[in-house]
Chains A and B, each alone.
Chain A
Amino acid sequence: MSLMYRPTAAQQMKVVVGVKRVVDYSVKIRVKDNKVQTDNVKMSVNPFCEIALEEAVRLKEKKIATEVIAVTVGVKKADDVLRTAMALGCDKAIHIVVPDAEAATLEPLAVAKVLAKLHEELKPDLWILGKQAVDGDFGSTPQLLAGLIDAPQGTFASEIAVADGKVKVTREIDAGRQVVELNLPAVVAADLRLNQPRFPNLQSIMKARKKPVDTRPIDKLGVDTKPHLATVKVEEPAARKAGIKVKTVEELFDKLRNEAKVL
């Protein structure tokens, strides 16, 4: 009779969520004197990172994830996104602190290298990042991380299902959707429709204030974070010529056909 090893129902599954503090999506950013004006603007958790956090917390509630760690790479003030993460249910938080002067030029590639370094240490089964940060709009960090650690990637995820050491990811692609199955450890990039994030309640926010955050300066990680891109110039896009209001549908049709000649 052979002895079969049966894993216990509650297998250890560690999920790490990358979270970024960004200019709030509702702010219309201005550029002046070759500089993006970010002083005193409203800052928030990147919307896609909120979705990533929510997905990780749901995995924990379903008893699939046994530990959820939130990580941010940012300035000192970025610890507020970790407070939100812990208020939502993350077990631990890691803050890789970046000096203010360096933060403006920190690139997705550098962040991916930091996360790859943490991957060696934490050895998670699943990384969930937001697909895109609404400030830089590069939408590259999850893929860069996956490439650096040579893990499979599920980008533009609108649904994920973890089972038997794999994650099935439904991805939004240009023509519709695609389903792939990835071995763990994997990197998932959360898209808009993955879930609807919850708001943390006041009690959890208060409790989160007392939880410890593992804070480390970025220069102690032994990772090369210098930028590869130099910004030559930043400016606002050319403004469109002002348009006119028409009073009737007939007038609209006439303008489009006879003036703009596009109908």
Chain B
Amino acid sequence: RMSTRALGKALVIAETLEGKLVPATLAAITAAAKVGPVTAFASGKDAAAAAEQLSKVAGVQQVLVASGAAVSSGLPEELAPVVKSVVETNGITHVFAATSAFSKNVIPRVAAKFDAMPICDITAVQGEDTFVRHAYAGNVVATVKSADAVKFATVRGTSFERAAATGGSAPIAAVAEGGAASGKSKWLEDLIAKSDKPDLATAATVVAGGRGLKSGENFKLLEALAAPLKAAVGATRAVVDAGYCPNDMQVGQTGKTIAPTLYIGAGISGAIQHIAGMKESKVIAVINTDADAPFFQVADYGLVGDLFEAVPALTKLVKG
């Protein structure tokens, strides 16, 4: 005899970048749809634009919007009570969001309010209570079953197909917001470097550099290769720590997880922690002077050579 409640009811907390839905949110919608009908939640200063886009996404049944001043900067202290109220009012059983600095900030705080253990960075959904995630810098793949009444998970954007951006026609409704901000926290400023370059998290090709580059100045070589390839440029933790690159370029266990079609790594030895962030790349090419560099173990194509010669030479060949 089938259970009367075969399906859950999922909420996906959406995220935007410069007014546009991030592709990873579309992947989170696909993951969420596996447990039941999907309600999308838009908040922040681009809430209205996000809601419009969400209402057209295939698989979204309903769009809820919180556009008040208190949540406009994405402060988790203000957002958590609003999400809690949305969950309770709408009988939500699962709360998902694409893994990001934003969702990692918000999801666990809301989970605490429901006495739930958040399941972070899931790569597969095997049932309404069973999920797959990675631990130990990606060296352990764990399948876990949650006993929580309301389940919370962040979703790895590169692990699920993106839901189609058109084909849906969900109604949009405003949610009741608490009123004035609690005042416990205040947003002061965002320091974002404006860039017309492709987004590291979603670029089809990524060119990454490590300590072998020897200086921030030398990253110009990688940018010259990236340009004709329309690639994004990434970095290891070491060069970000050394100040060669800003933190938003870091790829790795504690930085961004990427899975481009082509990843080219130059001057990177291949620490476990860096590999954790890019090993799902479809094709991996490695350039390093050290034939014993661990990175060659995950490379599809390895070139033992000096990147200061190889990268410009490759750039020339690419440009034809």
Given contacts A144-B109, A235-B141, contact A183 B185 (CB under 8 A): yes
Interface of A is mostly: mixed
A182 within 8 A of B: yes
Of A21-29, A92-100, A207-215, the one with at least 4 CB within 8 A of chain B: A21-29
Cβ–Cβ < 8 Å partners of B229 in chain A: 263
Q: Which of A31, A137, A235, A237 has the most chain B CB atoms closer than 10 A to its own CB?
A: A137
Min CB gap A213→B, angstroms: 28
Considering residues B120, B136, B282, which has the most beta carbons from chain A within 10 angstroms of its beta carbon? B136
**Chain A contacts of B102 at CB under 8 A?**
173-174
Q: Is the interface of B mostly helix, strand, loop or mixed?
A: mixed
Is residue A163 within 8 Å, beta carbon to beta carbon, of the partner chain? no
B161 to chain A, nearest CB (A): 19
Are B248's CB and A175's CB within 8 A?
yes
Q: Is the CB of B101 within 8 A of A156?
A: yes
Within 233-249 of A, Cβ neighbours of B (below 8 Å) are at 233-237, 240-241, 243-249
Q: Are B139 and A249 in contact (CB under 8 A)?
A: no
Please name the 4 residue pairs, one residue from A and one from B, whose CB atoms are nearest each other, closest first: A147-B112, A143-B108, A140-B108, A228-B117
Given contacts A152-B77, A262-B205, contact A135 B313 (CB under 8 A): no
Closest chain B residue, CB of each to CB of A132: B254
Bound complex: CA A233 to CA B126 (Å) = 12
Tell me the B183-227 residues at the A interface (CB within 8 Å). Answer: 183-193, 201, 205
In this complex, how many residues of chain B approach chain A with their Cβ under 8 Å: the count is 89
CA distance A136 to B139 in the complex (A): 11
10 pairs from A and B in contact (CB 8 Å cutoff)? A36-B140, A109-B112, A143-B108, A143-B109, A146-B112, A178-B191, A193-B247, A228-B146, A232-B143, A243-B296
| A contact set with B: CB distance below 8 Å | 23, 25-26, 28-31, 36, 48, 107-109, 112, 131-132, 134-140, 143-148, 151-153, 155-156, 158, 168, 171-183, 191-193, 227-237, 240-241, 243-253, 255-256, 260, 262-263
Can you add 16 more A-B contacts, CB < 8 Å, to A134-B136, A148-B112, A180-B75?
A109-B111, A144-B111, A147-B109, A152-B185, A153-B76, A172-B247, A177-B247, A178-B191, A229-B147, A236-B141, A241-B300, A244-B301, A244-B302, A249-B310, A256-B283, A260-B301
Question: How far, in whole Å, are A237 and B300 apart by their CA atoms in the complex?
Answer: 17
> Are A246 and B184 also in contact (CB < 8 A) when A139-B104, A176-B190 are?
no
Nearest to A229 among chain B residues (CB) is B144
Q: Which residue of B lies closest to A133 (CB)?
A: B135
B141 touches A252 (CB 8 A): no
Encode contact with A along B71-112: 1 for CB under 8 Å, 0 otherwise: 000011100100000000000000000001110111111111
> Taking the nearest CB of chain B, how far is it from the CB of A186, in angstroms?
8
A18 CB, nearest partner CB in chain B, Å: 14
B162 in the interface (beta carbon within 8 A): no
